[in-house]
Structure 1
């Protein structure tokens, strides 16, 4: 009986685990970032240990999300559009590689996209762009 039950349990466990993969889709929507209530992150992004703060970074959050970016750090276009819908303006002239800067009411946020992971930073007032 145990020999029959073990393979069945393994198949069920594998099916359950594969259903828990966090993947980027526009349809899942967005929520507030843990470090700034006014900055959106994909709703199904999984928060992981953030980077340490520095004199130019006031707060930081790191998220895992399959399909969020490519090797060049290009974010999905609909995510950039959602950030703008939330009132943020991209400072395109300040962009450096995969580091995107956004401004809203004097606050600067930085978004760094990588393959299946992204960082959101609230920049300190000491930052000079």
Structure 2
């Protein structure tokens, strides 16, 4: 009787956990951002909106993208493979400038900020004279 109960508990736990898979984002390749052709973006990220004339005087222009599961729960996890792609393309992360989920990258004289959220991310091209 006791072994039957243990077997049922184990079977129930297996059934419950087998339906739980970790949700992660998937990048199927990269394309150039319509904002700046030097900025790669995941080709399966869906553009949502353009930001111009921002209340933040340091931002020249921005684009919001949707990519399911990027950033993990509450946007707490930076997309390391995407950041590696940026690095491979010559973008250097300015780690000392990082502000929570906002990461700054520089290539030549261009600085961008990438803000990671749950299921979305924003890319902002900073003004040349921006104080970051």
Same fold (TM over 0.5): yes
TM (norm. structure 2) is: 0.74
The residue aligned with 1:63 is: 65
The residue aligned with 2:29 is: 29
Deviation larger for 33-42 or 43-52: 43-52
CA RMSD of aligned residues (A): 1.5
Indicate whether 1:78 and 2:81 are aligned.
yes
The residue aligned with 1:8 is: none
Aligned residues: 106
* Whole-angstrom distance in 2 between the partners of 1:39 and 1:64: 16
* Whole-angstrom distance in 2 between the partners of 1:112 and 1:24: 16
Gaps of 5+ in 1: 1-22
The residue aligned with 1:43 is: 43
* Whole-angstrom distance in 2 between the partners of 1:115 and 1:86: 25
* Whole-angstrom distance in 2 between the partners of 1:53 and 1:117: 21
Moved over 4 A (4+): none
Indicate whether 1:98 and 2:101 are aligned.
yes
- The answer to whether the 8 A contact 2:50-2:61 is kept is no
Gaps of 5+ in 2: 1-23
1:81 to partner: Cα distance? 0.3
Structure with greater Cα Rg: 2
- The answer to whether the 8 A contact 1:35-1:59 is kept is yes
